[in-house]
Amino acid sequence: MSGSVDVHITHIKPGEVTAVMNEVAALLTSHRLSALRAGQVLDLA
């Protein structure tokens, strides 16, 4: 995918968030990667 987009990581097992996000942070990408938080609302407009 060209450009830079927001990528939201979902369904991470409890207790694994730090490990998963450390692995995600090590990826070479121009995209903005983040874990969704419980109750987070995304504005798709």
Query: How many structural domains does the chain have?
Result: 1
Phi first, then psi: what are they for 21, rounded to 5°? -70, -30
Rounded to whole angstroms, how far apart are CA atoms 13 and 44?
25
- Residue 41 inside a domain? The answer is no
- Residue 10 inside a domain? The answer is yes
Residue-number span of the structural domain to which 31 is assigned: 6-35
- What local confidence, expressed as pLDDT, does residue 3 receive? 84
Q: Taking Cα atoms as reference points, which of 33, 39, 35, 41 lies closest to residue 11? A: 35
- Residue 11 inside a domain? The answer is yes
Mean pLDDT estimate for the chain: 92
- Residue 18 inside a domain? The answer is yes
pTM: 0.71
**pLDDT over 70 percentage in the chain:** 98
- Residue 12 inside a domain? The answer is yes
- Residue 30 inside a domain? The answer is yes
3-state SS, residue 8: strand
> Tell me, what amino acid is at 19?
A
Are residues 29 and 23 in contact, defined by beta-carbon separation less than 8 angstroms?
no
pLDDT at 26 over 70: yes
- Residue 24 inside a domain? The answer is yes
- Residue 28 inside a domain? The answer is yes
